[in-house]
């Protein structure tokens, strides 16, 4: 069951989605055409500027000889995003020849039209095209939010020759920002008018150990990815095209986060079949079916079914209730451990000052919970139940604040770097 906060959030989500009508085929084509016009306009801007063309040549050369390495990224997700976008341009990729041609010719071609043809031959996905444009914008002093550009920024630090900073003319800079804005508006229109599909698909996976709002978030990421890749000229409806992207994102998240132990996808599907048959048997007879009955209904060997059913019993969540009729979880009765002492007292004080600074960026109530939970400020660590009693609030409220605060801290790049340094110094 969702708590009151979740219920309100869900109500707001549905109310927001109802503001956007479903698109007709003609509307989808019009919006997607606007998206790709912006991408082509960005190619024109890059081709028309010799500095930007030289940057593209360097970009392709690095794809061939210096592809991104996972150990150089502070966040593994950024590495995977970039590898996914660049895969076709690597020396063993499907567009390696076009990548090589761009690396060699973009700096020597005399006309903007010839350079544009060379860039278009790369057949860059829209998301990568936008990421490159944002990376260029940032090196010109501008700002624009984009995950692919974040990944490119980390990768550029390890290029064999540092990429240049650009002093773009005002007209070029303004045109680049305009096309980025137009692209984002078109992509977001496709997303907003199809959010109902995300909510519908996410609802099918409720009750699998993952919250509904988390399922919606992952499904929305899949929808955004579909909006970036969609090409109406191939003859598909966007609502049909994005269905698989949303479903894949939600299923992958359920597989990764729904269980404390990560099983292979095919094993997860087999377990799901067995439990589906178990629920059907309960609904039909009011009793759990025996292993033989479930195995026959699921079309698998009895011994195999018995092994799969036992997999669900290998782990217990600390957030699970201690007793069936008890609201208190096992985690509520545990205290947060204090941070271990570093070998060097000065290092420990430095780490403490750094943590104070990082925690200082949180909201006031989040700071209060984190400080009490882990016994910071030279205090004793408290359990969630003790914090709830002290503040006069529910344990669930404390748990939500703790989760939110830890997520924010984990997302701070300097915290990630500090953790890696501390882990290496401690020989973890």
**Same structural domain, 80 and 176:** yes
- CATH number of the domain residue 366 falls in: 1.10.10.10
- The tally of domains found in the chain comes to 4
CB burial readout 196-229, b (16+ within 10 A) else e:
bbbbebbeebeebebebeebbebbbbbbbbbbbe
**Same structural domain, 231 and 293:** no
Looking at residue 316, its pLDDT comes to 53
Cα angle 43, 44, 46 (rounded to 5 degrees) comes to: 65
**Same structural domain, 152 and 223:** no
**Same structural domain, 61 and 91:** yes
- The β-bridge partners of 335 are 383
**Same structural domain, 148 and 177:** yes
- CATH number of the domain residue 242 falls in: 1.10.1740.10
**Same structural domain, 56 and 114:** yes
- CATH number of the domain residue 270 falls in: 1.10.10
**Is residue 120 included in any domain, yes or no?**
yes
Contact 177, 42 (CB under 8 A): no
Looking at residue 419, its pLDDT comes to 66
**Is residue 35 included in any domain, yes or no?**
yes
Q: What is the DSSP string of 28-85?
A: HHHHHHHHHHHHHHHHHHHHH-HHHHHHHHHHHHHHHHS---GGG-SSHHHHHHHHHH
Looking at residue 427, its pLDDT comes to 46
**Is residue 319 included in any domain, yes or no?**
no
What residues make up the domain containing 306? Answer: 263-311
**Is residue 7 included in any domain, yes or no?**
no
Tracing tokens 């000889």 back to the chain, one arrives at 65
Looking at residue 15, its pLDDT comes to 79
Q: Whole-model pTM above 0.75?
A: no
Looking at residue 82, its pLDDT comes to 92
**Same structural domain, 269 and 249:** no
**Is residue 5 included in any domain, yes or no?**
no
Tracing tokens 């801007």 back to the chain, one arrives at 45
**Same structural domain, 103 and 207:** no
Contact 327, 395 (CB under 8 A): yes
Last residue of a domain, which of 166, 185, 204? 185
Last residue of a domain, which of 136, 152, 185? 185
Last residue of a domain, which of 132, 161, 185? 185
Contact 231, 32 (CB under 8 A): yes
Please give the Cα distance from 10 to 12 (Å, whole number).
5
Residues of the chain with pLDDT under 50: 1-2, 324, 338-344, 427-428
Looking at residue 256, its pLDDT comes to 67
Q: What is the DSSP string of 176-227?
A: HHHHHHHHHHHHHHHHHTTHHHHHHHHHHTTTSSS-HHHHHHHHHHHHHHHH
**Same structural domain, 172 and 137:** yes
**Same structural domain, 35 and 144:** yes
**Same structural domain, 157 and 200:** no
**Same structural domain, 176 and 33:** yes
**Is residue 326 included in any domain, yes or no?**
no
Q: Closest Cα partner for 354 from 422, 402, 300, 408? A: 422
Looking at residue 184, its pLDDT comes to 95
**Is residue 152 included in any domain, yes or no?**
yes
**Is residue 213 included in any domain, yes or no?**
yes
């Amino acid at each position: 069951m969702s708590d009151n906060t979740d219920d309100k959030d869900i109500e707001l989500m549905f109310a927001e989605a109802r503001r956007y009508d479903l698109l007709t085929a003609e509307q989808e084509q019009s919006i997607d055409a606007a998206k790709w016009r912006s991408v082509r306009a960005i190619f024109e801007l890059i081709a028309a500027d010799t500095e930007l063309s030289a940057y593209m040549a360097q970009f392709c050369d690095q794809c061939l000889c210096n592809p991104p390495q996972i150990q150089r990224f502070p966040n593994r997700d950024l590495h995977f995003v970039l590898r996914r976008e660049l895969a076709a341009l690597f020396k063993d990729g499907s567009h390696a020849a076009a990548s090589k041609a761009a690396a060699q010719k973009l700096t020597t071609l005399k006309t903007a039209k010839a350079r544009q043809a060379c860039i278009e031959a790369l057949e860059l996905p829209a998301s990568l095209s936008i990421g490159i444009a944002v990376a260029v914008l940032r090196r010109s002093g501008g700002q624009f939010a984009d995950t692919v550009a974040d990944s490119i920024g980390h990768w550029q630090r390890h290029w064999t020759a540092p990429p240049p900073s650009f002093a773009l003319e005002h007209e070029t800079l303004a045109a680049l920002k305009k096309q980025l804005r137009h692209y984002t508006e078109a992509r977001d229109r496709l997303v907003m008018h199809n959010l109902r599909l995300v909510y519908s698909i996410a609802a099918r996976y409720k009750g699998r150990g993952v919250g509904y709002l988390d399922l919606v978030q992952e499904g929305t990421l899949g929808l955004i990815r579909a909006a970036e890749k969609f090409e109406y000229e191939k003859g598909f409806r966007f609502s049909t095209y994005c269905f698989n992207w949303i479903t894949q994102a939600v299923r992958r998240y359920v597989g990764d986060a729904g269980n404390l132990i990560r099983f292979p996808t095919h094993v997860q599907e087999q377990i799901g079949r067995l439990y589906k048959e178990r629920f059907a048997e309960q609904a039909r007879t009011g009793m759990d079916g025996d292993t033989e009955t479930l195995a026959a209904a699921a079309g698998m060997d009895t011994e195999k079914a018995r092994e799969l059913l036992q997999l669900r019993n290998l782990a217990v969540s600390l957030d699970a209730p201690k007793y069936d009729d008890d609201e208190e979880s096992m985690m509520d009765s545990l205290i947060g451990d204090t941070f271990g002492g570093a070998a060097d007292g000065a290092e420990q004080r430095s780490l403490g000052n750094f943590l104070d600074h990082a925690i200082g960026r949180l909201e006031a109530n989040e700071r209060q919970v984190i400080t009490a939970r882990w016994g910071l400020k030279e205090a004793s660590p408290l359990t969630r139940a003790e914090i709830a009693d002290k503040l006069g609030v529910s344990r669930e409220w404390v748990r939500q604040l703790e989760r939110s605060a830890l997520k924010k801290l984990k997302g701070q790049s300097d915290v990630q770097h500090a953790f890696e340094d501390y882990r290496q110094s401690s020989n973890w």
